[in-house]
């Protein structure tokens, strides 16, 4: 398979900008920039989102109707489902609240067994 022929769905707002860190640059005596992948538009860092653009294209090609990755699945009209290690908390906080906003309706909790991958 050739890299140029791998299918991809556009999920992120790429390319993301470079931003100069002016104060730190002055302090270090160099020009220092940061890649603003937090502005990719999906609440994920750039590396994960870039990878998902290819994984989600493959899932759609294979006729997937559900996938275990919330933000990208939601954007493509798939039903996001989560498999989380640990016990279900009594009250949803933090990431679980974000998951609900992203359309997650089904969460499965599993016990972690050492050596599992």
Digit-coded pLDDT (tens) for 54-65: 888 998 899 988
Q: What is the mean pLDDT of residues 38-43?
A: 80
Number of structural domains, the chain?
A: 2
pLDDT value at residue 105 = 84
Flag whether pLDDT at 6 surpasses 90. no
Supply the DSSP string of 26-68, one letter for each residue. HHHTS--EEE-GGGSSSSS-HHHHHHHHHHHHHHHHTT-SEES
Among candidates 67, 65, 66, 71, which has minimal Cα distance to 48?
A: 71
Instruction: List the Cα angle 87/92/96 in 5-degree steps.
Output: 85
Q: Per-residue confidence at 95, pLDDT binned at 50, 70, 90?
A: confident
**pLDDT over 70 percentage in the chain:** 89
The domain of 4 spans 1-63
Q: What is the mean pLDDT of residues 98-112?
A: 84
Flag whether pLDDT at 116 surpasses 60. no
Antiparallel, parallel or unpaired: β 79-85 and 66-67: parallel
- Do 48 and 15 lie in a common domain? yes
- Do 117 and 73 lie in a common domain? yes
- Do 106 and 78 lie in a common domain? yes
- Do 79 and 116 lie in a common domain? yes
- Do 59 and 71 lie in a common domain? no
Q: Please, are residues 11 and 42 in contact by the beta-carbon 8 Å criterion?
A: yes
Q: Please, are residues 42 and 75 in contact by the beta-carbon 8 Å criterion?
A: yes
- Do 58 and 93 lie in a common domain? no
Flag whether pLDDT at 70 surpasses 60. yes
- Do 74 and 29 lie in a common domain? no
pLDDT value at residue 46 = 64
């Amino acid at each position: 398979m050739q890299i140029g022929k791998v299918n991809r769905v556009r999920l992120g707002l790429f390319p993301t900008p470079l931003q100069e860190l002016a104060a730190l640059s002055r302090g270090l005596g160099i020009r220092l920039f940061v890649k603003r992948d937090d502005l990719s538009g999906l609440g994920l860092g750039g590396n994960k989102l870039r990878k998902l653009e290819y994984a989600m294209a493959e899932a759609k090609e294979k006729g997937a109707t559900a996938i275990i990755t919330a933000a990208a699945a939601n954007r493509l009209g798939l039903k996001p489902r989560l498999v989380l290690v640990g016990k279900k908390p009594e009250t949803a906080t933090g990431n679980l609240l974000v998951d609900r906003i992203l359309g997650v309706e089904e969460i499965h909790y599993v016990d972690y067994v050492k050596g599992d991958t």
